[in-house]
Amino acid sequence: QKEVEQNSGPLSVPEGAIASLNCTYSDRVSQSFFWYRQYSGKSPELIMSIYSNGDKEDGRFTAQLNKASQYVSLLIRDSQPSDSATYLCADTPYGNNRLAFGKGNQVVVIP
Amino acid sequence: DAGITQSPRYKITETGRQVTLMCHQTWSHSYMFWYRQDLGHGLRLIYYSAAADITDKGEVPDGYVVSRSKTENFPLTLESATRSQTSVYFCASTLRINEKLFFGSGTQLSVL
């Protein structure tokens, strides 16, 4: 089993709508969780990090962490065409000096 | 501007040849990583390093060798390239494992 799972296929949302992405992780004691955005042909870049249960908001982005259910989600409010990218979920499995990534979810915002 | 640089940006090689991808960072970050990215697989960890002279295998280490004699450099060598190693390779670094990961621009490797 992969440590970080992102199972949803490509997500198409109309401009101005909310895009919702989900991620589950296997290590019950993972401590740190991240969402990276990757534009086509570019390197991933960090958009959100979250370390404790609950919600964390940064502009139009909200990350939600539920450690009991072992999932982390990302909401993109008022989606813009510039949000069209692949979003990668990642965590740091406890005791490991590394970052494990999910396969990513492609988001397409339709004007 | 200082940062993390990878070279070459593009590389075409033949099956069986040895290839070395270079990664250099100027921040004195402790942690460095090599990932490969393929369609349908996302980012998969090849090797990582927590400090100079400390390296460890990731998810897909077979066929690759790394070294880290200096904090700033983390080269990745394909000892005998195979077509299955055709991929985009990303190097990354961070000061602490629970902080932002900085990525290089990537190396697109084609093995013919």
Segment B11-20, tens digit of pLDDT:
999 999 999 9
Tell me whether residues A32 and B98 touch, CB distance under 8 A: yes
B38 contacts A78 by C-beta, under 8 angstroms: no
- The strand ranges marked E within B1-112 are 4-7, 10-13, 19-25, 31-38, 42-51, 54-57, 64-66, 76-78, 87-94, 102-103, 107-111
Please report the pLDDT score of residue A92 as a whole number: 86
Whether the pLDDT of residue B2 is over 70: the answer is: no
Please report the pLDDT score of residue B35 as a whole number: 97
Contacts of B40 in chain A (CB under 8 A): 103
What SS3 state is found at B83?
helix
Contacts of B29 in chain A (CB under 8 A): none
For residue B102, the 8-state DSSP code is: E
Average pLDDT over residues A25-41: 89
B104 contacts A43 by C-beta, under 8 angstroms: yes
Distance from B106 to chain A by nearest Cα, in Å? 7
Q: Looking at the complex, does the CB of residue A8 fall below 8 Å from at least one CB of chain B?
A: no
Percentage of chain A modeled with pLDDT above 70: 95
Bridge partners for B81 per DSSP = none
Taking CA–CA distances from A97, the nearest residue in chain B reads B97
| Paired tokens of A75 | 């909401």
Average pLDDT over residues B76-99: 95
Taking CA–CA distances from B95, the nearest residue in chain A reads A97
For A3-22, write each residue's pLDDT tens digit: 888 877 799 999 999 999 99
